[in-house]
A and B are shown apart, each in its own frame.
Chain A
Amino acid sequence: DAKTTQPPSMDCAEGRAANLPCNHSTISGNEYVYWYRQIHSQGPQYIIHGLKNNETNEMASLIITEDRKSSTLILPHATLRDTAVYYCIVRANRDDKIIFGKGTRLHILP
């Protein structure tokens, strides 16, 4: 049970911001939102995580709604190398396991 809902696929033009939504309406107070991505033929790659505040790193920004029931991963200037499956995961801070759902397949269009 992945506890999150994501669109199966999305397209984004190269150079534009890619906004990937995720619903996690049953998230509990101690659960974090994590994002990973998997480029074809590679292992999943950690991107970012957050609890309730918005987060930014060199790869992406994470916007979490005030009620924490949904979030958006933003890739500010998408490139062709960002084509991948993006996974949104909720995970309690004391739970080691990460359970992957089906994710969103993001196509960056030239």
Chain B
Amino acid sequence: EADIYQTPRYLVIGTGKKITLECSQTMGHDKMYWYQQDPGMELHLIHYSYGVNSTEKGDLSSESTVSRIRTEHFPLTLESARPSHTSQYLCASSEQKHIYNEQFFGPGTRLTVL
């Protein structure tokens, strides 16, 4: 079982609020990722990190920001939540091992912005 955690699991919040979605992993993985996924739709990469102090934007434009101050922690922040941010947010991590570099996913945070 993957040791990657996300909190909160569910969040309902009003428009304009600042929120931070937490993601932590205890596997010592250097690489961490945030995906956004609407119900029944594709995974979209919104942010990733190769290690401490490294962050990059993904393929899908996002108004969120991330930070990577510690290896195990990769929080995602929305400064001002809007209804268009309503979605499921999945955190993942991986370790490069030859050509086998499985991504382990957290349980996800389901965000609803009213």
Do the two chains bind? no
List the interface of chain A (C-beta within 8 A of B).
none
List the interface of chain B (C-beta within 8 A of A).
none
